[in-house]
């Protein structure tokens, strides 16, 4: 490797990808390897630094995850985190033992600010602890450089040999100065210049895909969402026409969405790939006709999607690789062994057919977090509105229409939703212009129109109407597990109401949904 690289040696900890992400945030290239990786291979990579992650084992037990003791004699700085710190002390002649009680959660610590590791960190700070075992006696040559009430060795170092151990987790946000500590290690102790940028990821990934695919054929189910679009962008830059993207329009997309996806990825777009646009609207409407039960609707949409995808794959013939836009938060387990990853990611895609004739899976975004995926997308030249679009559920408008789905109801939701988003975006943009680019506090993380199953009496132009009631939903949420209705200015809601009633035939009443989650869900069904 000719570029500055930090290796993260994975002992199965739940935060290992987060460690890698923090290193990338220091503008340093980083790769994760299993603890089983041969020491010769590690040496050949010529890393500038090595980080050992946490893990579930106890290092003194038989069969515990270990690394070669030689790792600590390479002259390369090593930072052990949690299990990694214990293992380092254990291997180098210290003693690790089980504590009488588990130390878990936010913990006050005192750090030795003369240590390189804690440069610019306040002496008294907070960290995130999660451990049973502790370093009872440090290995010879080490000294403690941080402690908590229950943990005399919250961090230790052998500065001469550039070996460092941290018992807590600097990689999580609960350790407010954690990123600084990792920065100190990577940039100051390892001496990395920090010239690597997220943009370089795209270039490297494209090269790797080229090598892996050779002359093979790749199939990708493109939804038009951020992840699959960025995956399509990377793959097409790597292998061009060897890639086929299948885009299934189930008739439950947002207004103009199919056209937008086709404009980017279709034959007049910027990407050189085979794009198959399947118009399956009538098929889905047929299957959904008269079905009102939400779960049944979801199942029908999911199953029909698979059928359509299968049929298209068969037409394309044998493909060597199936590509997926799986991103790190989709990956449930740590994937130490590698083999199990295929089954898992296969699952993630929501049940693509088992029998599609492919040999391997390609997941170019597997190690990235959402905001990193967005950076790659911008780097590839994908439009901002696609990159920063809000989440959209797989079953689409099907779960935003209460009761049975018809083409006419889809039209109403599409048109009303378009107006709603347009007005919210306009108001937000005006606010940003007046406030140095800052988002308004009411800016929702997800906002959309839905159709209730209610009809009511109204009057329009002296005529009685008996039309539908539209629901506007807008929520503020961080993790989408809980949510609050956002306080969209009343004037904006009024404009939306008036435009919807005037411009969308079939609506004579507009409601704003105030429900938080729980008790509601974000979607209506």
CA distance 251 to 262: 15
How far apart, in Å, are the Cα atoms of 143 and each of 153, 164, 166, 346, 372? Answer: 8, 10, 12, 47, 37
Candidates 122, 329, 391, 489; binder of ligand XMP (CB under 6 A) is 391
Peptide bond into 518 cis (omega under 30): yes
Applying CB under 6 A, the site for ligand XMP has a residue count of: 10
How many beta carbons lie within 10 A of that of residue 329, not counting itself? 11
Residue 294 interacts with ligand XMP (CB under 6 A)? no
3-state secondary structure 460-502: ECCEEEEEEEEEEEEEECCCCCCEEECCCCHHHHHHHHHHHHH
CA distance 156 to 139: 10
Kindly tell me which of 376 and 522 has the beta carbon lying closer to ligand XMP: 522
Pairing relation of β-strands 243-249 and 218-221? parallel
CB of 395 to ligand XMP, least distance (A): 5
Kindly tell me which of 134 and 447 has the beta carbon lying closer to ligand XMP: 447
CB of 17 to ligand XMP, least distance (A): 21
Stretch that binds ligand XMP, among 43-51, 393-401, 423-431, 503-511 (CB under 6 A): 393-401
CA distance 363 to 217: 15
Peptide bond into 412 cis (omega under 30): no
Number of H helices, E strands in the chain: 14, 18
Candidates 3, 43, 307, 517; binder of ligand XMP (CB under 6 A) is 517
Kindly tell me which of 80 and 395 has the beta carbon lying closer to ligand XMP: 395
CB of 399 to ligand XMP, least distance (A): 6
Residue 521 interacts with ligand XMP (CB under 6 A)? yes
DSSP state of 401: B
Question: Which one from 67, 82, 156, 245 is the annotated catalytic residue?
Answer: 82
3-state secondary structure 285-321: HHHHCCCCCHHHHHHHHHHHHHHHHHHHHHHHCCCCE
Residue 480 interacts with ligand XMP (CB under 6 A)? yes
3-state secondary structure 316-377: HCCCCEEECCCCHHHCCCCCCCCHHHHHHHHHHCCCCCCCCCCCEEECCCCCCCHHHHHHHH
Question: Which one from 171, 304, 312, 525 is the annotated catalytic residue?
Answer: 171
DSSP state of 143: E
CB of 155 to ligand XMP, least distance (A): 39
Residue 523 interacts with ligand XMP (CB under 6 A)? yes
Stretch that binds ligand XMP, among 67-75, 195-203, 334-342, 516-524 (CB under 6 A): 516-524
Write out the binding residues for ligand XMP, residues 433-452 only, by CB under 6 A: 446
| Sheet containing 49-52: order of strands | 29-34, 5-10, 49-52, 78-81, 163-166, 155-158, 143-147, 95-111, 124-137
Residue 329 interacts with ligand XMP (CB under 6 A)? no
CA angle 336, 340, 341 (to 5 degrees): 80
62 is catalytic: no
Question: Which one from 4, 103, 156, 169 is the annotated catalytic residue?
Answer: 169
CB of 446 to ligand XMP, least distance (A): 5
Stretch that binds ligand XMP, among 62-70, 212-220, 287-295, 517-525 (CB under 6 A): 517-525
193 is catalytic: no
26 is catalytic: no
The label of the residue with tokens 């005006």 reads 430
- Nearest residue to 90 (alpha-carbon basis) of 170, 156, 14, 178: 156
Candidates 251, 393, 398, 444; binder of ligand XMP (CB under 6 A) is 393
The label of the residue with tokens 């990395």 reads 192
Stretch that binds ligand XMP, among 311-319, 388-396, 449-457, 463-471 (CB under 6 A): 388-396
Residue 66 interacts with ligand XMP (CB under 6 A)? no
How many beta carbons lie within 10 A of that of residue 271, not counting itself? 21
Residue 104 interacts with ligand XMP (CB under 6 A)? no
How far apart, in Å, are the Cα atoms of 123 and each of 34, 80, 113, 119, 453? Answer: 34, 21, 6, 10, 60
Kindly tell me which of 264 and 397 has the beta carbon lying closer to ligand XMP: 397
The residue length of the chain stands at 525
Kindly tell me which of 325 and 393 has the beta carbon lying closer to ligand XMP: 393
Stretch that binds ligand XMP, among 59-67, 254-262, 375-383, 515-523 (CB under 6 A): 515-523
CA distance 64 to 311: 48
Kindly tell me which of 472 and 522 has the beta carbon lying closer to ligand XMP: 522
Residue 325 interacts with ligand XMP (CB under 6 A)? no
Kindly tell me which of 432 and 517 has the beta carbon lying closer to ligand XMP: 517
405 phi and psi angles, rounded to 5 deg = -100, 130
Candidates 395, 398, 440, 444; binder of ligand XMP (CB under 6 A) is 395
Residue 482 interacts with ligand XMP (CB under 6 A)? no
291 in Cβ contact with 297 (< 8 Å): yes
Residue 389 interacts with ligand XMP (CB under 6 A)? no
Stretch that binds ligand XMP, among 154-162, 315-323, 392-400, 507-515 (CB under 6 A): 392-400
Binding site for ligand XMP (CB under 6 A): 391, 393-395, 446, 480, 517, 521-523
Active site residues: 82, 169, 171
């Amino acid at each position: 490797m000719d570029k500055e690289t930090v290796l993260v040696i994975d002992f199965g900890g739940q935060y290992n990808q987060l460690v890698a992400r923090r290193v990338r945030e220091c503008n340093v290239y980083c790769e994760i390897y299993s603890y089983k990786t041969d020491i010769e291979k590690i040496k050949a990579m010529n890393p500038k630094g090595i980080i050992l992650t946490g893990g579930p084992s106890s290092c003194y037990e038989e069969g515990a995850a270990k690394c070669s003791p030689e790792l600590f004699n390479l002259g390369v700085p090593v930072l052990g985190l949690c299990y990694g710190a214990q293992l380092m002390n254990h291997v180098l002649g210290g003693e690790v033992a089980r504590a009488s009680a588990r130390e878990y959660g936010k913990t006050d610590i005192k750090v030795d600010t003369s240590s390189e590791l804690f440069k610019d960190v306040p002496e008294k700070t907070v960290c995130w602890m999660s451990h049973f075992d502790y370093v009872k006696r440090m290995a010879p040559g080490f000294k403690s450089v941080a402690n908590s009430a229950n943990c005399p060795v919250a961090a230790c170092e052998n500065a001469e040999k550039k070996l460092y151990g941290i018992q807590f987790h600097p990689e999580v946000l609960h350790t407010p100065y954690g990123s600084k500590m990792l920065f100190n290690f990577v940039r100051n102790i390892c001496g990395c210049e920090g010239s690597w940028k997220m943009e370089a990821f795209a270039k490297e990934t494209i090269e790797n895909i080229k090598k892996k695919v050779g002359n093979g054929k790749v199939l990708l189910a493109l939804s038009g969402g951020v992840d699959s679009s960025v995956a399509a962008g990377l793959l097409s830059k790597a292998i061009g026409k060897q890639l086929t993207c299948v885009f299934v329009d189930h008739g439950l997309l947002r207004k103009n969405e199919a056209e937008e996806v086709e404009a980017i990825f279709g034959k007049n777009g910027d990407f050189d790939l085979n794009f198959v646009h399947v118009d399956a609207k009538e098929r889905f409407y047929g299957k959904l006709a008269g079905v009102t039960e939400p779960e049944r609707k979801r199942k029908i949409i999911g199953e029909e999607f698979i059928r359509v995808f299968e049929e298209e794959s068969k037409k394309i013939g044998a493909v060597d690789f199936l590509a997926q836009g799986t991103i790190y938060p989709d990956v449930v387990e740590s994937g130490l062994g590698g083999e199990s990853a295929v089954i898992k990611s296969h699952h993630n895609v929501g049940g693509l057919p088992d029998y599609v004739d492919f040999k391997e899976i390609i997941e170019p975004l597997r190690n990235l977090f959402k905001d990193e995926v967005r950076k790659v997308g911008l780097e590839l030249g994908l439009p901002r509105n696609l990159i920063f679009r809000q989440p959209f559920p797989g079953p689409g408008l099907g779960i935003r229409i209460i009761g049975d789905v018809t083409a006419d109801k889809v039209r109403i939701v599409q048109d009303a939703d378009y107006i709603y988003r347009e007005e919210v975006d306009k108001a937000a943009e005006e606010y940003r212009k007046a406030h140095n680019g800052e988002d308004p506090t009411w800016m929702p993380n997800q906002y959309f129109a839905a159709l209730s199953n209610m009809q009511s009496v109204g009057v329009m132009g002296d005529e009685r109407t008996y039309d539908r009631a539209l629901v506007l939903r807008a929520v503020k949420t961080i993790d989408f597990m809980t949510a609050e209705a956002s306080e969209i200015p009343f004037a904006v809601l009024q404009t939306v109401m008036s435009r919807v009633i005037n411009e969308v035939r079939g609506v004579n009443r507009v409601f704003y949904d105030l429900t938080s989650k729980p008790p509601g869900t974000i979607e209506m069904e």
